Structure 1
Amino acid sequence: MRVKRLATVMCALALTACTPTPTGPPPAVSLAPASTSDLVKAIDVKVKAALMPPETFDDVGGRFQSDKPKLTAEPTGTHGELSRVCEGVKADSGVSTSRNRVWAGPVIINQIVFGLVGADARHVLGAVRDKARSCRTWVDEAGKPEREVEADVELPELEGVEGSYAFCSSLTEISPPVWGCEAFLVRGDLVVGLRVVSGTEQMARQHLPEAARRAARSLAEVG
């Protein structure tokens, strides 16, 4: 079965001439607060560092497909949509930016890394968990079949992350239907969302733990 679905930087050095050392106390310096745009650009460096390398799944037949947006694209703030589970969950405060990377092979693997400004990553993780537990079925779009959700999917111990949560859900509007299992990992001001999509829930669940381990390693290496 072929699944067609699935379908988010610089140094400046200034040199000045030397001046005599003042004899009095130094003048007070007033620093303007960083703009939201500057904060988003700064955290985007960490977001890109948390992306798994393109060759991450070569050993299991996963071919790197795309970056959305391209890594050269300027970072922009997003609406903070973390998952569509149970009619959707978003980061409810602050600003976020994100980068998205996709691999295709025996399963489709989609990684999205969110950088948060003014929001707590562990609170965001709790919002995903609470939302996934809030329904057993939901309709993603009017007129579409109900999706099922299986909350509290077990993940292995993931070193270097501060919290994790996973669930699985059906994508019944695709013909034939497929399943996606999603894991969310947090560290500092970063949230990694990881989705494994397959024709069966069993296959998606089977591949999620190792994909999560590899995503955790990349996340743990971010300073």
Structure 2
Amino acid sequence: MRVKGAALAFCVLIGATAPGAKAAPEQSGSTKAERAAAQRQHRATTPRTAARPAARAMLHRVSHRPPHTTATYAGISCVPYARAVSGIQVTGNGGQWWHNAAGLYARSQRPEPGAVMAFRSSGGMSRGHVAVVRQILGPRELLIDHANWAGPGIRRGSIMQNVMVVDVSDRNDWTAVKVQVGHDQSSFGRTYPIYGFIHNRPDTETVFAGLPSRRTDRFEQVAEMPDAAPRTARAEAARLR
């Protein structure tokens, strides 16, 4: 009987019935470990049934949940944007680029597509600014691409392209400009002093724009919104032509 009982217990474990014998009921002599093993074997070899309605509903909610995204807005300042677009690798704040480019890149008072327009530090823009010339429209008008020049409808740290800039200098040497305000190419802010233009080619001639060359790598441009009081500048530019 012990052999037969062991055979029956073994049949329960593997989920089969001995030839010529009826399905064996669970033996009262089976140990707790054997019963647990039989249950595990049953779960492992039995096809899973459909999930309960509540479980199915939960799985549906999880599998169809839209991806979660975290909305952040860090923006970009003018210096890293100008580096990326122009390929000119100058360090420092925007107002330091003109002097820091000495001996490395050519500089002049003549705009060219791809050149960096270097703004001086001024009362409303203490760290200066840099922008990349996109297109020359005339002797006193051009388009720039730049970053972090906030205005009506424009968030700080935004990138703007095709921005109108007008030369309002007395000598038409691009030492003073007005920049388009917001998205309106007919509205301009206050006058900003300009050093000139940095070109992506080796420096073969030193141009100081009235100031001694000085290099410093201590600072990097951070987000800064220049002051801008909208006014029309094209009429003034036309008068100066």
TM-score by length of structure 1 reads: 0.27
Structure 1 or 2: larger strand share?
1
TM-score by length of structure 2 reads: 0.25
> Who wins on radius of gyration, i.e. which is larger?
2
